[in-house]
Amino acid sequence: MRVLGIDCGTEYTGFGIVDLLADDGLRCIVCGAIKVSPRDPMPTRLSRISIGLAELIIQHRPDRVAIEDVFYAANVKSALKLGQVRGVAMLAAASAGLEVAEYSPLSIKSAVVGYGRAEKHQVQQMVTRLLHLDQIPEPADAADALAIAICHLHTAATRERQNKTQPNNILQSKARQTATR
């Protein structure tokens, strides 16, 4: 499975594409950030972000897209702008026929570090280790996007294992009920 993680921002929108390998290992395909000028009008920034994400999707063909839930903004205006960027990211994914998963910062940190209140540098170090990179991805938004992709891959793998065992659990439960009657 290939996942595009997106860390939405009004100046830097981080992206990271990660493959889940057959041996359950992870591989970074590409990461970086789409930089837009804060001096440009918001519609121009949103257009550049949309075009950049669409190009990534066409070039790298992810199976899924994962983004971070809005959790905090300095003020209402910042929250609205961030919401617009998230909307553009969701639209780019949906336009390519891709499902979008959203994760809270707590979930992302838990999936990557094992502790939901981990510091930013701890997340960056674990991303570097999990992806066998030589150095911490730059800019920080790229590392965050990779963490979001890793979170989705870990979450999807866990759900898949649960789904595989669930029918057996149900059958075993029914067999026990029948045997006790």
Q: Would you state the structure tokens that stand for residue 120, as one six-digit string?
A: 């930013």
Q: Give the catalytic positions in this structure.
A: 7, 68, 141
Q: At what angle do helices 140-180 and 105-113 cross, to 10 degrees?
A: 80
Distance, in Å, from the CA atom of 119 to the CA atom of 27, rounded to the nearest integer, reads: 23
Query: From the centroid of its chain, how far is CA 123?
Result: 13
The residue behind tokens 């075009």 is: 51
Tell me if 112 sits within 8 A of 77, measured CB to CB: no
Contacts of residue 72, Cβ cutoff 8 Å, sequence gap at least 6: none
Tell me if 28 sits within 8 A of 18, measured CB to CB: yes
